[in-house]
Chain A
Amino acid sequence: MATLTVNGVTHDVDVDSDTPLLWVLRDTLGLMGTKYGCGIARCGACTVHLDGNPIRSCALPVSAIAGRAITTIEGLEPNGALSAVQRAWLDLDVPQCGYCQSGMIMAVTALLEDKPKPSDAEIDAAITNICRCGTYQRIRAAIHAVAARRVSEVR
């Protein structure tokens, strides 16, 4: 049994203590936006925020994070609104297959909270998520658009 706070809601979950957070989110809580890509914290499709910091949930046992605050793509904005990062993703037509994009958006959101105007080198260092469709160029442009506040307001 573990206690988790996900998107502001506290849950008691009955799972094995070595279960990675990813599978608790997906299979126990039904939050399917966070994706499985590699299981070895390499691809970043499973990125969520732990106390505001980006972490890869596929290799993090749920026992290691009891009581800490987790935010997933579903909890990024309340009431179905879109964040500035998500609006930039729309403006610049970033996704292709889309599978990695939840993790990308969570990683970028954390980067921009840490560094509101990141340089290209800072983007390269922080965003190491894998996208097999190759949307990196548009992700970079979208990050710069958010930094420059050049993002559509209404959707």
Chain B
Amino acid sequence: MSRGPQLDRRSFLASVAAVGGALTLGFDIPFGPPAVRASARASEITAWIVVAPDDSVVIRVAKSEMGQGASTALPMLVAEELECDWSKVKAEFVAPEENRKRDRIWGNMSTGASRSISASQNELRRAGATAREMLLAAAAARWNVPAGECAAARSVITHRPSGRTVTFGEVAAAAAKVAPPGPVKLKDPKDWTLIGTPQRRFDVADKITGKPIYAIDVRLPDMLYAAIVQCPVFKGTLKAVDETKLAGMKGIRRVIAHADAVAVVADSWWRAKKAAEALRITWDPGAGADVSSAAIRDLLHAALSADDARVGRRDGDVDRALAGAATRIEADYEVPFLGHATMEPQNCTARVTADLVEVWAPTQDGETALAVAADAAGVAPDKVVVHKMSLGCGFGRRGMFQDFVRQAVLIAKEVGQPVKLVWTREEDIRHDFYRPVAAVRMTAGFDAGGAPIAWKIRTAGQSIIAAISPRVMQFGVDRNFLQGLLEDMPYDVPNYLVDFAMRNTHVPVGVWRSVNHSQNAFFKESFIDEMAHAAGADPYRFRRNLLRKSPKDLAVLDAAAGKAGWDAPAPPGVFRGIAHHRSQSSICTQVVEASVASDGKLHVHRVVSAIDPGHVVNPLTVELQTEGAIVYGLSAALYGEISIKDGRVEQSNFNDYPVLQMAETPQVETVIAASGGFWGGVGETPVPPLAPALCNAIFAATGKRIRSLPLKNHDLRNA
């Protein structure tokens, strides 16, 4: 494996010192306007690239880093075309306020949906090629030769006829003054030398030495600390706060009432938290007060036979085909709400002065953080600065809704001093934007020969889009809710219908790693296993037959089955399950090997995960994300359940919302079956197949068909 560039601690520390010691980030030149960063010594060559006289190259990253490796993979796209020496590259986050000032020259900063590479690759490769042409033009002008006689490699420009050379750093200042060329030609993928090679991530060194790179680590002069208690019933409001018990508590500065929360500000977070817990708060719980998980389940079950569903995809005539089928099977499935439980609880530090609002936030979208901060402070966006920090996990929790930013700004404005707001884990678990509940009724029909001729899917559940962006609803259909069941449902069944009966609750919902794919893959891939068994077919070959017209799906399915040794016997007592799902424009098949002991204890031994994301930028990232996604999916499959009682979340912390630990982690084998020709995502794609592949293995082991999650609610002992 090649060695990636290392962070330059000295210049990093110098830059921190220059801004007062408060700002910290694992990149070379953390913050501040580019005019300052690209000082007299370094030159901006396109908005994305800064080259210094010593040949060091700063490549700017508009997306957030939450462990997914975007801050390394995105610069690789630039460097490939720039032809710079990768060991001299450093990454730098774009500041949201700079993006706003420069008419969003760095594009959309929202980081999610596994789209960082696919949505940026074209512009980043063009930026690299454009800068390379500008550097070549500057060198050619210096030598008074045609630019076409010059070539760049590893940050050195060579005039081929004479053999003269000059480095990027030596012509950077001149190149910055060259007019950018028109359309540039990008490399043929077969000529890539950096893209597709495993590269160490830039951010690892800081993360093993405890550097203060997260928002929760920010320390400012005169900073106070805030803890918050939010109305336990969603959409409820605050009625009254009794501060009597705070009498005599030390260090308490303010108790601040919000519409649906109370914050306590103190001179330490521990004191603020203790005081917040000592408050006697009276809430108006509102209309959600008597909602329970049982009632939500009844609502969804009734929707499975309701007549208000909207069609998402219809092929042929499914009802007629079912009526004429030789055999039929039907099954209902359901899944609960899930929380994100990012390792770093929600937090934000804010400083509000007459002239400026500053926030330090763990944000998946710095532009939304800026807009939320401006709105909360009641100032124009040009009065806001957002310091994007490394995120202690994201998983979709910190993009669209930046409730923690709003709260911190409101508190800091009220107090008139910088305030660091940190949620307790209990607040974090109970005030999330949860993965929606969902239920389905699956019906399949077979002809006399056992071939599937009809597949009908009725879905019911809560729509994210209805809550956040109703205008995106298409003819009343939330197509997001049907992810994986629409045109991206790859199985060839002639009569197919999927529809959606929307049933929204008072529980806030949001995007959760892979959004609706994780629910729908569980439903689809479990039921197609049922179809295979009903047809008396091997689950792998049954899928294979239905994918025979989709060569890319077939290749991934075969890659996983081959690596897993599907046709060879599993170790004694071990059983295999398989699942296949497209998401985030990529294709993934997983084979899970599991055993179930006589006491019902489940052991997941091994997961083989094959993925085709089209082009691969950093294969190391693909492996890391696959390993992580399987742990994430397995946590959800085994334990994940947010339940509602009296309108509020019953779980509170990792004791009652458990997640996977070391001892339960299977061996993960990643197969990169990249076919090229498209740009798919990686970070989410290996999540959805995990639960169904596992449940299909459990069926193989026990004959028990799991139709609801999590598995902790099922008795797997032999009946």
Indicate if B268 sits at the interface (CB-CB under 8 A): yes
Indicate if A117 sits at the interface (CB-CB under 8 A): no
Interface residues on B, range: 35 or more
Looking at B98-106, B200-208, B311-319, B514-522, the stretch in contact with chain A turns out to be B200-208
Indicate if B568 sits at the interface (CB-CB under 8 A): no
Indicate if B143 sits at the interface (CB-CB under 8 A): no
- Chain B residues closer than 8 Å to A123, beta-carbon distance: 662
- A-B contacts at CB below 8 angstroms, number: 177
Indicate if B183 sits at the interface (CB-CB under 8 A): no
Task: Pick the most buried of A105, A129, A134: most chain B CB atoms within 10 A of its CB.
Answer: A134
- Chain B residues closer than 8 Å to A137, beta-carbon distance: 627, 665, 667-668
User: Are B655 and A40 closer than 8 Å at their CB atoms?
Assistant: yes
Also in contact, A98 and B662, with CB within 8 A (given A38-B653, A40-B655, A132-B343): no
Indicate if A66 sits at the interface (CB-CB under 8 A): no
User: Are A93 and B269 closer than 8 Å at their CB atoms?
Assistant: no
User: Are A134 and B632 closer than 8 Å at their CB atoms?
Assistant: yes
Indicate if B663 sits at the interface (CB-CB under 8 A): yes
The B169-226 residues at the A interface (CB cut-off 8 A) are 200-201, 203-214, 216-217, 219, 225
Identity of the chain B residue whose Cβ is nearest the Cβ of A33 in the assembled complex: B210
The A102-128 residues at the B interface (CB cut-off 8 A) are 102, 105, 123-125, 127-128
Also in contact, A130 and B659, with CB within 8 A (given A33-B211, A137-B665): yes
CB distance from A38 to the nearest CB of B (A): 5
- Chain A residues closer than 8 Å to B274, beta-carbon distance: 18
The A135-150 residues at the B interface (CB cut-off 8 A) are 135-140
User: Are A32 and B217 closer than 8 Å at their CB atoms?
Assistant: yes
The answer, among B270, B344, B629, for a CB contact under 8 Å with A20, is B270
User: Are A35 and B209 closer than 8 Å at their CB atoms?
Assistant: no
A99 to B661, CA, bound (A): 16
Indicate if B425 sits at the interface (CB-CB under 8 A): yes
- Chain B residues closer than 8 Å to A101, beta-carbon distance: 207-208
Identity of the chain A residue whose Cβ is nearest the Cβ of B340 in the assembled complex: A132
Contact with A along B614-657 (1 / 0, CB 8 A): 00000010001001111110010000000000000000011100
- Chain B residues closer than 8 Å to A4, beta-carbon distance: none
Contact with A along B65-87 (1 / 0, CB 8 A): 01111000000000000000000
- Chain A residues closer than 8 Å to B219, beta-carbon distance: 30, 32
Interface residues on A, range: 35 or more
A28 to B344, CA, bound (A): 20
A125 to B217, CA, bound (A): 30
Identity of the chain B residue whose Cβ is nearest the Cβ of A99 in the assembled complex: B392
Contact with B along A51-93 (1 / 0, CB 8 A): 0000000000000000000001110000000100010011001
Contact with A along B340-351 (1 / 0, CB 8 A): 011111000000
The answer, among B268, B343, B395, for a CB contact under 8 Å with A23, is B268
User: Are B209 and A45 closer than 8 Å at their CB atoms?
Assistant: no
Identity of the chain A residue whose Cβ is nearest the Cβ of B620 in the assembled complex: A93
A130 to B208, CA, bound (A): 16
- Chain B residues closer than 8 Å to A96, beta-carbon distance: 67-69, 624, 628
Indicate if B422 sits at the interface (CB-CB under 8 A): yes
User: Are B207 and A95 closer than 8 Å at their CB atoms?
Assistant: yes
Identity of the chain A residue whose Cβ is nearest the Cβ of B425 in the assembled complex: A38
Indicate if A151 sits at the interface (CB-CB under 8 A): no
A72 to B342, CA, bound (A): 23
Indicate if A131 sits at the interface (CB-CB under 8 A): yes
User: Are A98 and B390 closer than 8 Å at their CB atoms?
Assistant: yes
A26 to B67, CA, bound (A): 23
Task: Pick the most buried of A89, A130, A140: most chain B CB atoms within 10 A of its CB.
Answer: A130
User: Are A27 and B270 closer than 8 Å at their CB atoms?
Assistant: yes
The B650-695 residues at the A interface (CB cut-off 8 A) are 653-655, 659-663, 665, 667-668
A135 to B156, CA, bound (A): 38
Indicate if A42 sits at the interface (CB-CB under 8 A): yes
Indicate if B393 sits at the interface (CB-CB under 8 A): yes
User: Are A43 and B654 closer than 8 Å at their CB atoms?
Assistant: yes
- Chain A residues closer than 8 Å to B89, beta-carbon distance: none
User: Are B270 and A136 closer than 8 Å at their CB atoms?
Assistant: no
Indicate if B391 sits at the interface (CB-CB under 8 A): yes
A137 to B709, CA, bound (A): 25
Indicate if B165 sits at the interface (CB-CB under 8 A): no
User: Are A98 and B628 closer than 8 Å at their CB atoms?
Assistant: no
Indicate if B253 sits at the interface (CB-CB under 8 A): no
CB distance from B697 to the nearest CB of A (A): 19
User: Are B209 and A19 closer than 8 Å at their CB atoms?
Assistant: no
Indicate if B108 sits at the interface (CB-CB under 8 A): no
Also in contact, A130 and B342, with CB within 8 A (given A36-B216, A38-B653, A90-B205): no
Indicate if B250 sits at the interface (CB-CB under 8 A): yes
A99 to B655, CA, bound (A): 19
A42 to B629, CA, bound (A): 22
- Chain A residues closer than 8 Å to B201, beta-carbon distance: 93
Indicate if B271 sits at the interface (CB-CB under 8 A): yes
With A32-B210, A98-B203, A131-B631 already in contact, 15 other A-B pairs whose C-beta atoms are closer than 8 Å: A16-B271, A23-B268, A27-B268, A35-B392, A37-B425, A39-B425, A96-B67, A99-B343, A123-B662, A128-B661, A132-B632, A133-B67, A134-B627, A137-B627, A140-B662
* Chain A interfacial positions (CB closer than 8 Å to B): 15-16, 18-20, 23, 26-28, 30-40, 42-43, 45, 72-74, 82, 86, 89-90, 93-102, 105, 123-125, 127-140
A-B contacts, 9 of them at CB < 8 A, read: A27-B268, A36-B422, A38-B654, A42-B655, A86-B209, A93-B624, A98-B67, A132-B341, A138-B624
The 9 closest A-B pairs by CB, nearest first: A33-B210, A134-B631, A98-B207, A99-B392, A97-B67, A96-B67, A124-B663, A73-B210, A134-B628
